[in-house]
Amino acid sequence: MTTLSEISLTITPFSSSLLTTDSDIFSLYKEELGNDTKNFVNERAYVTNKDMISALYDIVDETVASTCNVRLVLAGEKERQTWERFIDAYLAFHLETPRYRLHEILG
């Protein structure tokens, strides 16, 4: 039987990636409105020699892949359901947080 510690060690790289890049993704709209180019997406575009939109898509793709990797690692239905509930609540919080101003584009 896999212990909680073993599961945590296995998913940490993937979940950490998701949890560190999501605010960069959600903040981009607000930052672009304020002409703030000192952010992860623009810095990533610069170092990869890509335009900002391409860099954003790369970051989103990596974030989705990390989420999928966590789902693959979580063997039990209970563990997957717990992860999905966490992700649903985490995303809802960020989508509804006024500081990101996403209500302006999501309606």
Q: What digits encode the pLDDT tens for the residues 2-44? A: 555 555 556 565 566 667 788 899 999 999 999 999 999 999 9
Is the dihedral angle over the CA atoms 106, 92, 7, 10 positive or is it negative?
positive
- For residue 55, pLDDT over 90 is answered with yes
Q: Single out the residue of 55, 50, 47 nearest to residue 21, CA to CA.
A: 55
DSSP for 30-93, written as a single string: HHHHTT---SHHHHHHHHHT--HHHHHHHHHHHHHHHHHHHHHH--SHHHHHHHHHHHHHHHHH
Average pLDDT score over the chain: 84
Tokens encoding 85: 């509930």
